[in-house]
Amino acid sequence: MLSEAAVYEALSAVQEPELGRDIVSLQMVKDLAIGPDSDISLTIELTTPACPLKDEIERNVRAALAGIDAGTVTITWGAMVRRASPKQAQQLVPGVKNILAVASGKGGVGKSTVSANLAVALAMEGASVGLLDADITGPNIPLMMGLEGAPAASPDGKIMPLERYGVKVISIQFFVPEGQPIVWRGPLVGGAIQQFLRDVDWGELDYLVIDLPPGTSDAQLTLAQAVPISGVLLVTTPQDVAVQDVTKALAMFRRMSVPIMGVVENMSAFICPHCGEATEIFGRGGGEAFARRNELEYFGGIPLDVRVRQGGDAGVPAVAQREPGVAADVMRGLARTIAARMSVRAAQQVPVLSIS
C-alpha cells in the first residue's frame, strides 16, 4: 500500500498555477487518507472559492497520483480565503480578510455597476462578501441591488447590513428619505465611512467590496488611512476624458502606497444583439493604453449590454439574471481573476510547509 510520504511527495510536484508554489507547501492538501488497493481520498483547499484554475489543478493532481500507481482518487474541494494583509486583524473590520476598493476618476463610467456585479459574482462562487456604498452623496448601490428599508440593530448595538444575492450591503441611502440630498462637508463624509467600517456588524467576510465616489477626495483618503486595502480596481471608459481623470486617481493611490490591482475598461463597445457587430461608441483602447503606460494589469473590456442597464434599474445585477449576456460573463470572469490576484498576495504570508 502507498505511504503518505509517497503521496505527499507526488503532490509536491503539483503547482498552484497562480501562486507559483506547490500545493503541499501552500498547505492546500487536507484530510489525506489511503485505503485498500491504494485508493486515495483527499481535500484540496483552494485559496479562493472563485479559483479560475480549479480544473487545471485537478488534472495535475490526478496525473501526479497516477504516476505512483494510485487506485481510485476521490477529491473533495474546499476553500479558505487568506488575508492579503496581516495587519487586517488590528483594524476597524477584523473579520474581513480582503478589502477591494473600486475607484474611478470620472463619474458615469459604471463604477457602481462593476462594484455590485463583482460582489454578487464573488458570492455566487461561494465566497462570503460585503458591499459598502462609500459614495455618500450619490449612493446608487441600494437601487442596483434591489434593497430598501432601514437596517436593524444587533444585540450589541451594531448596525446589521441588509442582504441580497448572498451579499451584505450597507449604504447611507438606507438612513435617509427617498429623494433627500446629502449635503455634507468632507469631514462628515469621512466620518460616515469610518462608522460604516467600525459600527456595522460585517461578521466574517472573505471580501469587502467598497464602491468609492469618483475623484480624489476625503472618501478615498479616509479609507486608505483607516484600513489596509488589499487592492484597488480602477474603472474607466475608452474616451480620453475618462482616462485623463483615472490617471489622477492612480497618482493619488500610489502617493498613499495603496496597491493597485489593475484596470478594467467599461462600455468598451456596443455589441448589436441582432447582427453581432461591435460599435465602439466611446472610442477604442483607452483603458488598455492607460494600463500599458502605467505598467498595470489590464483586465479587459466590458461591452455595453442593455441587460446591464435594465438589471441596474430593476435591482437585479447582470450576473444574477437568468439570461446574463456577454457583459455579465465578462464580469464573472473579472471576479475570478481579481480573487486569484488577491490570493497571490495572501500566499506571500503563508510559511513553507516541509514534508520531510
Domain boundary residue among 79, 105, 127?
Answer: 79
Which grid coordinates belong to 84? 492579503
Query: Distances from the Cα of 247 to the Cαs of 122, 202, 288, in angstroms?
Result: 27, 32, 13
Mean pLDDT confidence for 156-167 = 95
* pLDDT tens readout for residues 52-73: 888 999 999 999 999 998 899 9
Give the three cell numbers for residue 8. 505527499
CA atoms within 13 A on the CB side of 291: 22
pLDDT in tens, 195-229: 999 999 999 999 999 999 988 888 888 888 888 89
Which of 173-177, 279-283, 343-347 is the least confident region? Answer: 343-347
How far is Cα 167 from Cα 124, in angstroms, rounded to an integer? Answer: 9
Neighbouring C-alpha atoms within 13 Å toward the C-beta of 264: 27
In this prediction, residue 91 carries a pLDDT of 65
DSSP secondary structure letters along 306-320: HHHHHHHHHT--GGG
pLDDT at 211: 95
Handedness of CA 176, 178, 184, 188 (dihedral sign): positive
**pLDDT given for residue 355 in this prediction:** 47
Percent of the chain at pLDDT exceeding 90 = 61
Domain span at residue 144?
A: 86-347
The residues pairing with 298 across neighbouring beta strands, listed in sequence order, are 263
pLDDT computed for residue 350 by the predictor: 52
> Are residues 292 and 165 part of one domain?
yes
355 part of a folded domain: no
User: Residue 300 falls within a domain, yes or no?
Assistant: yes
Q: Residue 279 is which amino acid?
A: T
C-beta of residue 243 within 8 angstroms of C-beta of residue 287: yes
Q: Say whether pLDDT at 185 is over 90.
A: no
In a domain, 337, yes or no: yes
Supply the CATH number for residue 71's domain: 3.30.300.130
Q: Whose CA is closest to 236, among 248, 228, 218, 227?
A: 248
Nearest to 70 by CA among 34, 43, 45, 42: 34
The end-to-end CA distance of the chain, in Å, is 20
Residue 326 lies in a domain: yes
Q: pLDDT digits over 112-152, tens only?
A: 999 999 999 999 999 999 999 999 988 999 999 999 999 99
What percent of the chain has pLDDT above 70?
A: 95
Least confident of 15-24, 181-190, 233-242, 321-330: 181-190
State the Cα–Cα distance between residues 128 and 81, nearest whole angstrom: 10
Q: Is 48 within the bounds of a domain? A: yes
User: What domain count does the chain have?
Assistant: 2
Q: Where are the alpha helices (DSSP H) in the chain?
A: 4-11, 54-66, 111-124, 141-145, 186-198, 218-226, 240-255, 286-293, 306-314, 325-347
pLDDT at 306 over 70: yes
Q: What is the mean pLDDT of residues 268-274?
A: 80
One domain, residues 196 and 260 = yes
Side by side, the strands of the sheet bearing 40-46 are: 29-34, 40-46, 73-79
Q: Which pLDDT score, from 0 to 100, does residue 86 have?
A: 57
* Structural domain ending residue among the three candidates 35, 64, 79: 79
- The stretch 288-305 carries a mean pLDDT of 94
Rounded to an integer, the average pLDDT of 176-192 is 84
pLDDT at 82: 79
What is the C-alpha separation between 2 and 7, in angstroms, rounded? 7
> Would residue 352 count as lying in a domain?
no
Mean pLDDT of the chain: 89
Classify residue 269: in a domain, yes or no. yes
Q: Per-residue pLDDT for 354 more than 60? A: no
DSSP assigned state of 275: T
CA distance 281 to 301: 13
Kindly state whether residue 247 falls inside one of the protein's structural domains: yes
- Decide if 226 contacts 258 (C-beta within 8 A): no
Residues 69 and 93 in one domain: no
Q: Is the pLDDT of residue 247 over 80?
A: yes
For residue 232, give the C-alpha cell: 484597488
According to the per-residue pLDDT averaged within each range, which of 26-40, 74-88, 118-132, 338-352 is highest? Answer: 118-132
- The answer to whether residues 54 and 109 belong to one domain is no
Tell me, what's the pLDDT at 87? 57
Mean pLDDT calculated for residue range 83-99:
73
Query: Rounded to whole angstroms, how far apart are CA atoms 194 and 214?
Result: 18
Residues 75, 175 share a domain: no
Rg (CA), the chain: 22
- Tell me which of 106-110, 161-165, 328-332 is least confident: 106-110
What pLDDT is recorded for position 178?
A: 82
Q: So what's the pLDDT on residue 237?
A: 93
